[in-house]
């Protein structure tokens, strides 16, 4: 039986939050199990609905609980870690992929709008129609098991039939045929952590604001132009980036 001290200086919602956390930690509410409803907690502990809702909301934000619409509130299960071995900046670049089979496409339409922070990547491009892009958006994984939300911008002038190829689910060998000089050859890239945005959180089945790993890659073709700029948002609780071993060189 849970207890709430209404004479305590600790806010009631914080007490309930601590009690629920203890139940999760000691296994009373196991991974994947449903916790009592808001109404049941209100009746058991003589608390108001807003108090209970605030405690649950904070535990959802912290990743201990998950709300499934129409079903209730559940203890979040610890996902298995996915080891991305021999990780390179091309891992989530569309043009460097081997096939379309592992990609679940959300959109792949032409656009002349590029997020401001990525405009500089294409600024030096010449003779490729880089003012217009295909914005390709996809996820990798499956439903609640999605581990990556990916966006790529590819100049229309370099791959004018890209949308049709994706629509037909063409083979990558057909998409890249006779375009070898335009394919990614080297990359400027970085990995950083930031809070998940709305679309990212929805695609990855996490709460908005949850820390995610972000891999940004500007892929240069052999001609020197940027043929693709990709942004992969990865679930930090699931993905482990494993790089090739290196040794310290001493001259």
Domains of the chain: 12-75 (1.10.10.10), 82-241 (3.40.1410.10)
251 pLDDT band (50/70/90 cuts)?
Answer: low
Q: What is the pLDDT of residue 232?
A: 98
Higher pLDDT, 129 or 99: 99
Q: What is the pLDDT of residue 207?
A: 82
For residues 113 and 33, give the distance between their C-alpha atoms in angstroms, rounded to a whole number.
44
Is the pTM higher than 0.85? The answer reads: no
Residue 14 DSSP SS3: helix
* Alpha-helix residue ranges (DSSP H) falling in the chain: 12-25, 38-45, 49-61, 119-122, 162-168, 172-175, 198-204
Q: Would you say residue 217 has pLDDT above 90?
A: yes
The stretch 81-107 carries a mean pLDDT of 93
For residues 86 and 244, give the distance between their C-alpha atoms in angstroms, rounded to a whole number.
5
């Amino acid at each position: 039986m849970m207890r709430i001290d209404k004479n305590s200086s600790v806010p009631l919602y914080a007490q309930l939050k601590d009690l629920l956390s203890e139940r999760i930690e000691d296994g009373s509410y196991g991974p994947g199990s449903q916790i009592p409803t808001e109404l049941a907690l209100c009746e058991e502990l003589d608390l108001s609905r807003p108090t209970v809702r605030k405690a649950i909301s904070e535990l959802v934000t912290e990743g201990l609980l998950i709300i499934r619409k129409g079903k209730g509130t559940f203890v979040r299960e610890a996902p298995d870690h996915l080891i991305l071995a021999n990780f390179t900046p091309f891992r989530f670049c569309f043009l460097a992929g081997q096939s379309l089979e592992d990609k679940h496409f959300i959109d792949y339409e032409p656009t002349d709008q590029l997020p401001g922070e990525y405009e500089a990547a294409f600024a030096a491009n010449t003779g490729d129609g880089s003012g217009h892009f295909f914005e390709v958006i996809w996820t990798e994984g499956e439903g609640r098991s999605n581990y990556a939300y990916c966006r790529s911008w590819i100049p229309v002038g370099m791959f004018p039939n890209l949308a049709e190829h994706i629509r037909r689910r063409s083979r990558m060998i057909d998409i890249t045929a006779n375009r070898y000089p335009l394919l990614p050859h080297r990359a400027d890239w970085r990995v950083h952590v930031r809070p998940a945005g709305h679309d990212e959180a929805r695609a990855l089945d996490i709460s908005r604001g949850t820390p995610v790993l972000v891999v940004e890659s500007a892929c240069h073709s052999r001609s020197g132009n940027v043929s693709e700029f990709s942004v992969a948002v990865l679930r930090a609780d699931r993905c482990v980036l494993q790089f090739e071993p290196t040794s310290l060189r001493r001259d």
